[in-house]
A and B are shown apart, each in its own frame.
Chain A
Amino acid sequence: MLSLDNVQVSIEGVRVLRNVSCRIEERKTTVLIGRNGAGKTTTLRAIMGLLPLDGGAIRLDDDDLVKSPAHHRAQAGIGYAPEDRRLVAELSVEENIRLPALALKLNKIETKRRLDEVYALLPQLHTMRERPGGGVSGGQGKMVALGRALMVARKVLLLDEPFQGLAPALALDYARTLGELRKHRPELALLITESSPALLDKIADRTLQIERGEILAKPTET
């Protein structure tokens, strides 16, 4: 279980997260809803250790994540798919997906196992595996970024606005994939941010609201 306690973050001297506390539980899909600028992306980046905390604590099970450098998140099994894809243009789609395996020094068998898992869930990645990362469309790129995050995610998967900028057909596809993912990988704790709850109604177990850097009231259980 991933827990945030009174997390406070500033960017360039401006307080962006005032007081974020929440629990992301395993086997549950938690959706974080908020307007642009409410602090959704900042929350995810704080979890990934990409921003220094002004205060508060972030724990995975009983480990204090704040003390360890950013790259330890991946070792701890937290996968992250940023909103803007961030693929390496010079590498092929498959090389992009394999990058975490190289970084984490996974052995061949484990790499193959995780890669097969990704391809089983996202067969369209297998068809375009040889295309350069710089040559896929925005929507396809989101799928690649999801595949890359899945290579890392053993415990927690963070998806930042996965539907942002997706064509309606692709968005539907992506939502279906997330449903499949729940079945294939029931143990995962999923945290998905979105600006509107509509697309995630069916898959959300819990919905949190973030506004001006604070998580509102009690989570709604569905």
Chain B
Amino acid sequence: MSNTVIPLLLDSLASAALIFFAAVGLTLVFSVLRVLNVAHGSLYSIGAYVAASICLFIASRQLSPYLSFVALLFSAVFVAAILGPLIERTLIRWTYGKSEAVQILITFGLFLMLEDLQRMVFGVQSLYEDAPVRLLGTSQIGGVVYLNYQIFLIGMAVLVVIGLRMLIRHTRLGRLITAVVADREMAQSIGIDTNRIFILAFSLGVFLAALGGALAMPTSGVAPGLGADTMVLAFAVAAIGGLGQIEGAAVAALIVGLARVLAIYFVPSLDAVAPYAAMLVVLLIRPYGLFGAVTARRI
């Protein structure tokens, strides 16, 4: 029994880590901007494409493979620094306070544009470079061979959860974000530049999406369609955790990761359905998600 339990748990954790990266930015952006960004998955796949391109370049020039780790992080920063402020200022800002239908239509339009843009820039073939995975090697845990890269992913996810918590609870920026989330008008009245907070929060969301894509690329590569797949999964996870709840997204990722791995172990054909089955069960019991607060509709 224990022979299956340990690999099952490790697999679940590794799967949860990737799922968490896909969802955390979406839920963060929703909590601060109150906009459900349907194009979030595209930012994830753009992160993966940029990371793959840089890693392939590093491999082709036979530069130090350790550089590919720097490349993963750099891709996320690069994508966030360029696309974050650009998308927020040109598109997202016009949707503040508009109805959800308008927000979803506009970000869906953005999704379509970003998907075609990726085909234009990166082509339609899949890209894959696993230098980071090969570099870290493998280890034996419970008689099963594991990629150390998977364990690295789990560590990165834990780091992001702790980092975000520290940022929100213990920094000036975090306090200001908390105030903006609580009440925008009040935040402006006490001197907070809410536009600046929106740009920063959106860019942080883009960074987390792109980081997720970049970190996933060495294990599964990137191909057209990744953005759409990621978006649907990210939405399921965010809904399970309660939209806008960062810790909720972490717990939801664990649940979905476990559900997926259980499916793969015992009923492999249900792999793809598992996340949505988990979402269905959770939302039937708690319609606002695990950590979502029941809020009265304003007007």
- Known A86-B183, A88-B178, A102-B172; contact A80-B189, beta-carbon cutoff 8 A: yes
Q: Using an 8 Å CB-CB cutoff, how does the interface string of A89-117 with B read, 1 for contact, 0 for none?
A: 11100010001101110000000000000
Q: Could you tell me if B176 and A103 are in contact, using CB atoms closer than 8 angstroms?
A: yes
Residue in B175, B185, B193, B194 whose beta carbon sits within 8 Å of that of A99 in the complex: B175
Max chain B Cβ within 10 angstroms of own Cβ: one of A73, A91, A99:
A99
Chain A interface size, as a band, is: 20 to 34
Instruction: Check B188–A71 contact: CB distance below 8 A.
Output: yes
Asked whether any CB of chain B lies closer than 8 Å to the CB of A148, the reply is yes
A48–B182 contact, CB under 8 A?
Answer: no
Do B175 and A71 touch (CB < 8 A)?
A: no
Q: Which B residues lie within 8 Å of A91 (CB)?
A: 175, 178
**Could you mark each residue 187-199 of chain B with 1 if its beta carbon is under 8 Å from any beta carbon of chain A, else 0?**
1111111110000
Chain B nearest CB from A102 CB (Å) reads 5
List the B side residues contacting A70 at CB < 8 Å: 188-189, 194
Task: State whether the Cβ of A69 lies closer than 8 Å to any Cβ in chain B.
Answer: yes
Contact in complex: B195, A103 (CB < 8 Å): no
> Once bound together, how far apart are the Cα atoms of A192 and B172, in whole Å?
31
Interface residues of B toward A: which range? 10 to 19
List, in ascending order, chain A residues with CB within 8 A of B188's CB.
48-50, 69-71
Which residues from A are CB-within-8-Å of B178? Answer: 88, 90-91
Query: In the complex the two chains form, what is the Cα distance from A86 to B298 in whole Å?
Result: 15
Bound-complex Cα distance A102 to B180 (A) = 13
A16 touches B (CB below 8 Å): no
Contact yes or no, B176 A73, CB < 8 A: no
A102 touching B175 by the CB < 8 A rule?
yes
* B175 lies within 8 A of A74 (CB): no
B135 at the interface (CB under 8 A from A): no
Asked whether A99 lies within 8 Å of B189 as measured between CB atoms, the reply is no
A86 adjacent to B192 (CB under 8 Å): no
Q: A82-B186, A102-B172 are in contact. Are A74 and B179 (CB under 8 A)?
A: no
Judge whether A73 and B189 touch: CB under 8 Å.
yes
Is residue A75 within 8 Å, beta carbon to beta carbon, of the partner chain? yes
Q: Is the CB of B189 within 8 A of A74?
A: yes
Contact indicator B190/A99 (Cβ below 8 Å): yes
The answer to whether A88 touches B189, judged by C-beta atoms less than 8 angstroms apart, is: no
Q: Which B residues lie within 8 Å of A102 (CB)?
A: 172, 175-176
* Residues from 164 to 179 in B contacting A, C-beta threshold 8 Å: 172, 175-176, 178-179
Given known A69-B195, A99-B179, A103-B192, contact A86–B186 (CB-CB < 8 A): yes
* B185 contact set on A, CB distance < 8 A: 45, 48, 50, 82, 86
Interface centre among B183, B191, B193, B195 (most CB of A within 10 A): B191
Taking a contact as CB atoms under 8 Å apart, the answer to whether B191 and A74 are in contact is: yes
A78's nearest neighbour on chain B, judged by CB, is B189
8 A-B residue pairs with CB within 8 Å:
A69-B195, A70-B189, A71-B192, A82-B186, A88-B179, A102-B176, A104-B190, A152-B191
Q: Which 4 residue pairs are nearest across A and B when measured between Cβ atoms? A: A74-B191, A103-B191, A70-B188, A100-B190
